[in-house]
Chains A and B, each alone.
Chain A
Amino acid sequence: MRTYIINRLLQIVPVTIIVTFLVHALMWTVPGDPVYAFIGIEASLDEEQLDILRKKHHLDQPIIIQYFFWFKDVLHGEFGRSTTNGMKVFDELSMRAPVTFQLGICAFLFAVIVSVPAGIISAVYRGRGPDHLATFFSIGAVAIPDFWLGIIGILLFGVSLGWLPTQGYVNPFENPIEGLRHMILPAFALGCTSCALIMRQTRSAMLEVLAQDYIRTARSKGLFEARIVLVHALRNSLLPVVTILGLQTGRIFASAIVVETLFGMPGIGQFMVEGVFGRDFKVVQGSVLLMASMVLVCNLVTDILYAWLDPRIKYDG
């Protein structure tokens, strides 16, 4: 297992190189001189100034050389500065990553805490009231976009009831109560879709396992139904659920872009989108590097969870 983990961790290096290079090359497919993106639509710099900017950011060099300059800097721990606003990319990522991580983790926990029990109940009460209710809400949650849920949450809990703040982020280590209050609505908006998908997956897996012979045997031996469901059935149902959880990690970080923008949270998603619009190579590269590494680590954790859940699965490196 140890060899497998080391191998997988080493694989992260070439994968991130390929991903960041592809992203870098893709940004060059956008028509027009990128220096105009740096200065925006309103500023009117003359050719002399534009040439200085081109040279400063190596835009007068071939794509591969530009990438090499960036990669060389990254190896030295230097992510460079944003070409549109001059901020240090590493500092920005260090400041923003905890916000996105916190949002992602809260959304993920919300999704798991609500969906797994809902999926179990739905399977146990198949075709009855609780199943219909859970199905109704899960279809609704998948159908409703994150941003709409966010706006409804803001209007209901922020404006009408005045219970929760509608904007901003508070560091939970500085003010735990305000930090939590600021996180509830965004985590709810972000986690709902995943919640529905995980719930459906849990229900489906549970139904399959509950129909197995060994469950029937357990029942015939007189075991409590709760023990049969939560101990014998649940663990064996979790394998496909863990797969979907792994996939949802990527989705949650992608959707965080919309939710961060809606709630004015200074996360990586918003940072990266603005980087794309401004063709801010260093911002996009740095953000992609971080996000790709995160998703790869999450996938690795998923694989390790497989082995823990099903001892028959062995990784030989």
Chain B
Amino acid sequence: MLKHINFKNIFKPVLVLAIFLSFFLGKAYAEPSYGGHLRVGIPKFPTSLDAHLGRSGWDAYYWRQITDHLVDADRGLKPRAESSLAESWEFSENPDALTLTLRKGVTFHDGTNFDADAVKFNIDRILDAKTAATPRAAFTIITSVDVLSSHKVRFNLSRPWGSGLAMLADRGGTMNSPAAILKLGEDYGWNAVSTGPFKIKEVVSGSHIHFVRNENYWGKDKDGNRLPYLDEVTVRVVKDPSVLTASLRSGEIDLAYAPHKDAKAFKEDSNFNHFSMEAGKMQLIVIFNLAKAPVDNIYLRKAITHSIDPNFINKALYFGENTVADSGMWPTGAWAHDPNVARPHYDPKKVKEFLKQGGKPNGFEFSVVSFGSMKPALEIIQAQLAQNGIKMNIDILSGSAINAAMYKEGKYAMAATSWSRYPEPDWIGSLMYKSDGYYNAGKLPNPELDALLEKGASLTDVEERKKVYKEVNSYVLDQSWVVPIIYQTFTAVAPKKVKGLETLTMHDGKMNFRLISMD
């Protein structure tokens, strides 16, 4: 029987069939799943949907869905032109300038064109003090904006802008529709019109914001499929962690950062996917006022920072789900992060030495200011300090009163706070470490450090910048000035039907849904 079978004749159609099937099956595999309504739980409602006017780090969970950046960046803050509003960029010297070539064919949600005039309008609006725009401080380096052609724009700079691309990857680099701003005036903040993958459908203040797909979105994934995949996204405010967990389990919410107490259970639950990002936020930082006694004495600051046992705090308060800070304010995963730097660590023996060197062998007393949610951590620190004879008085104020009392009036020796993730070192450097920095409580003149920070902000070569910021980081930590204690790990959890969690978090730890899909 076998003799009569011509294998050559069989082989050909089988081969053709295999190629045919692999082509279609392969295509089907590459084709993402479109549609679906993603419901997300977040603890805070935004202060505005206009990224330029919003005041809170939580706002980015909302405005990021409706915006793009002039320069987009990956999680390590490396610029990526394929997802940016600018197709290319170029720094020039004498005079210093940054020239952006803009993507063509991009429109705002209201149908108006995104072009060089729109960029100039947006940057001028940020720079105008009357707008009271949040990113203005980072943009005052731009002296003027020239429109070179319909899709080419030049930022004239007062000095080289090494941090410029990173700044354009943050809120200041998002673009609003000039026509919508002029039409809506003060109502624009809750009716923001941008270029991003989703559009605002409904805003119910204090409750939720409903986004729908921007059918004209220009963005594509790496396989050339149009974005976004989802039809709708609702971001709902869920303040209580227990309720957030309950809502995830009951299926009323599809995606959230798991509360610390429940993160382990979600990670072990086969019904859920999870993705973790280390140092998504600075969970606990102590900041000293260098001009305020008794912590104007470096040895006494070191006595404090070496008394704090971060492992104990992590286990006691965060169920071991966070990580103990291994460096300074440049977070894990950022190019400036350097875990090999010497930093204060828990060492009771050294504390005794520092107290002696500081002239207070029997301990001393000082006051710390913070907000309510920080109190449990501060009570643990208070007990740890007490073991070394250091008495810490805790004052709990609202965030605004802290800013005024600590950073403007310099009333407190120390503040304990948490901070959003800022991978661009100049952001923290300029605000916290410069002599006139907004969050530099003591505001003591330090021309050498100022010059170093200016240099870091001016250099464009990342390796050169690394060296500068390593020096800054070492100095600040050696001074026990701004000392992170705990980095917060974000654990995003979602039922199995939600795909693409690994694309969820941006360089600042905030969520972005343009590559998320649902089965």
Let me know if B398 and A37 touch, CB within 8 A.
yes
Find residues 318-345 in chain B having any chain A CB closer than 8 Å to their own CB. Answer: none
Max chain A Cβ within 10 angstroms of own Cβ: one of B190, B207, B431? B207
Interface string of A136-173 (1 = CB under 8 A from B): 00000000000100010011001100100111110000
Residues of A within 8 A of B (CB): 30-34, 36-46, 48-49, 52-53, 81, 84-88, 92, 95-96, 147, 151, 154-155, 158-159, 162, 165-169, 261-267, 270-271, 274, 277-279
Main secondary structure of the interface of B (DSSP, over half): mixed
Please tell me if B402 contacts chain A, counting CB pairs below 8 Å.
yes
Q: Determine which of A34, A88, A96, A168 lies in contact with B208 in the assembled complex, contact meaning CB atoms within 8 Å.
A: A168
Let me know if B243 and A166 touch, CB within 8 A.
yes
Interface string of B243-267 (1 = CB under 8 A from A): 1001101101100000000000000
Q: CA separation between A92 and B203, bound complex, in Å?
A: 11
Let me know if A36 and B55 touch, CB within 8 A.
no
Q: Determine which of A52, A84, A270 lies in contact with B55 in the assembled complex, contact meaning CB atoms within 8 Å.
A: A84
Let me know if A266 and B420 touch, CB within 8 A.
no
Closest chain A residue, CB of each to CB of B432: A44
Let me know if A36 and B404 touch, CB within 8 A.
yes
Q: CA separation between A159 and B245, bound complex, in Å?
A: 9
Within 8 Å CB of A274, what residues of B?
206
Q: CA separation between A96 and B45, bound complex, in Å?
A: 15
A151-B246, A264-B208, A271-B206 are known; give 16 further A-B pairs, CB within 8 A: A32-B401, A39-B400, A40-B400, A44-B431, A46-B136, A85-B46, A85-B205, A86-B189, A88-B187, A95-B205, A96-B206, A155-B246, A158-B246, A167-B238, A261-B240, A262-B239
Within 8 Å CB of A92, what residues of B?
205
Within 8 Å CB of B400, what residues of A?
32, 34, 36-41, 278-279
Q: CA separation between A92 and B187, bound complex, in Å?
A: 13
Q: Determine which of A43, A167, A267, A278 lies in contact with B252 in the assembled complex, contact meaning CB atoms within 8 Å.
A: A167
Q: CA separation between A45 and B439, bound complex, in Å?
A: 11
Please tell me if B475 contacts chain A, counting CB pairs below 8 Å.
no
Give me 26 A-to-B residue pairs in the complex whose CB atoms sit less than 8 angstroms apart, sorted by A's number.
A32-B409, A33-B404, A36-B400, A37-B401, A40-B399, A40-B400, A41-B371, A41-B417, A44-B137, A45-B132, A45-B134, A46-B136, A84-B47, A84-B55, A85-B48, A86-B189, A87-B189, A95-B205, A147-B240, A158-B252, A159-B250, A167-B243, A168-B208, A264-B239, A265-B207, A279-B400
Within 8 Å CB of A81, what residues of B?
186
Closest chain B residue, CB of each to CB of A34: B400
Q: CA separation between A266 and B253, bound complex, in Å?
A: 17
Interface string of B45-57 (1 = CB under 8 A from A): 0111000010111
Please tell me if B512 contacts chain A, counting CB pairs below 8 Å.
no
Please tell me if B286 contacts chain A, counting CB pairs below 8 Å.
no
Q: CA separation between A168 and B47, bound complex, in Å?
A: 20
Q: Determine which of A40, A49, A266 lies in contact with B56 in the assembled complex, contact meaning CB atoms within 8 Å.
A: A40
Find residues 135-191 in chain B having any chain A CB closer than 8 Å to their own CB. Answer: 136-137, 186-187, 189-190
Interface string of B383-422 (1 = CB under 8 A from A): 0000000000000011111111100110000000100100
Max chain B Cβ within 10 angstroms of own Cβ: one of A43, A96, A147, A267? A43
Within 8 Å CB of B186, what residues of A?
81, 86
Please tell me if B438 contacts chain A, counting CB pairs below 8 Å.
yes
Let me know if B206 and A270 touch, CB within 8 A.
yes
